[in-house]
Chains A and B, each alone.
Chain A
Amino acid sequence: GQNIDQPTEMTATEGAIVQINCTYQTSGFNGLFWYQQHAGEAPTFLSYNVLDGLEEKGRFSSFLSRSKGYSYLLLKELQMKDSASYLCAVYDSNYQLIWGAGTKLIIKP
C-alpha cells in the first residue's frame, strides 16, 4: 500500500529552528508537497520538491531525497503564527496525491 509517515505532534520555542520529517512509500513519484494548515482553515501551499536537494523560501526550506523516500521541512526563526499543522503529500505515478496525517506544531514563547 501507499503510505506517508510524519510525526503527530512537535513542540518548539519561539525564535528557534524546527525540522519536520516525512517518509513516503508510494507507487512512483511525481513530486512532494508541503502544506500549512491553521486550525479551522484550509491547507495552503508551502513548497514543492521534485528533484533531490534543498529548496529555500524565506524562513522555510524543504529537502528531498528520492532514493531514501524522505523529505523534511525546516522552519527557522519560529514565530507564534507558525503554530499550525504541516501536511506532507506525494504525487504517485498516476498523479494521485497521497497525504500524510499531518504534524501539529506547537510554538511556545
Chain B
Amino acid sequence: TAGITQAPTSQILAAGRSMTLRCTQDMRHNAMYWYRQDLGLGLRLIHYSNTAGTTGKGEVPDGYSVSRANTDDFPLTLASAVPSQTSVYFCASSDESGGAKETQYFGPGTRLLVL
C-alpha cells in the first residue's frame, strides 16, 4: 500500500500567491493532520480532522485552511502566502479506537519556499 502521499514534493511560491498542498491516505484512518517543521523547532500542528466532515485548529492555524470532504483526502490551502510560511509541511494520519488515537503515520513532506 502507498500509505500517505503528498504533492507537490517541493514548490517555490511568490508571496501573495495561493497554493494547495495535497494529501491522500489509503489506510482508511479516521484522523488526519497537517504539521509544519522548521529548523530547531518541533513539529507544530496547523490543522487536524478527527473524521470526514470535521476540522479543527492546531497550534499555528493562521494563514492556512483545510477541508475534509472524504476519508482519504485532506488538502491544506495557503490563501495568500507570506515568507514566514517557508517550511516543510508534513501530512499525517492515525486510526482511532474507542476514543483513543493511535500512532500517527507521516507522508513524505512538501518543501515550500515563499519568496
Residues of A bordering B, CB below 8 Å: 4, 30, 33, 41-45, 48, 87, 89, 91, 95-97, 99-102
- Given A30-B100, A42-B90, A43-B90: A99 touches B43 (CB 8 Å cut-off): yes
Residues of A within 8 A of B12 (CB): none
Q: Is B53 an interface residue (CB 8 A)?
A: no
CB-CB under 8 A from A100, the residues of chain B are 42
Residues of B participating in the A interface, judged by any CB pair closer than 8 Å: 33, 40-45, 58, 90, 100-101, 103-109
User: Chain B's interface: helix, strand, loop or mixed, by majority?
Assistant: loop
Q: How far is the CB of A15 from chain B (nearest CB, A)?
A: 30
Q: Say whether B106 contacts A4, CB under 8 Å.
A: no
Please, how many angstroms separate the alpha-carbon atoms of A33 and B101 in the complex?
Answer: 12
Contacts of A95 in B (CB 8 A): 100-101
Measured CA separation A30–B43 after assembly (Å) = 18
Which A residues are in CB contact (< 8 Å) with B41?
101
Give the chain B neighbours of A42 by CB distance below 8 A: 90, 106-109
CB-CB under 8 A for A41 and B108, given A4-B42, A30-B100: yes
In the bound complex, how far is the Cα of B98 from the Cα of A6, in angstroms?
31
CB contacts (< 8 Å) of B90 on chain A: these are: 42-43
Offer 23 A-B interface pairs, CB within 8 angstroms, sorted by A: A4-B42, A30-B101, A33-B103, A33-B104, A41-B109, A42-B90, A42-B106, A42-B108, A42-B109, A43-B43, A43-B90, A43-B106, A44-B106, A87-B42, A87-B43, A91-B101, A95-B100, A95-B101, A96-B58, A97-B33, A99-B44, A101-B40, A101-B41
A18 to chain B, nearest CB (A): 21
Please name 20 further chain A to chain B contacts, defined as beta carbons within 8 Å, in addition to the given A42-B90, A101-B42, sorted by A numbering.
Answer: A4-B42, A30-B100, A41-B108, A42-B106, A42-B107, A42-B109, A43-B43, A44-B106, A45-B103, A45-B105, A48-B103, A87-B42, A87-B43, A95-B100, A95-B101, A96-B45, A96-B58, A99-B42, A101-B40, A102-B42
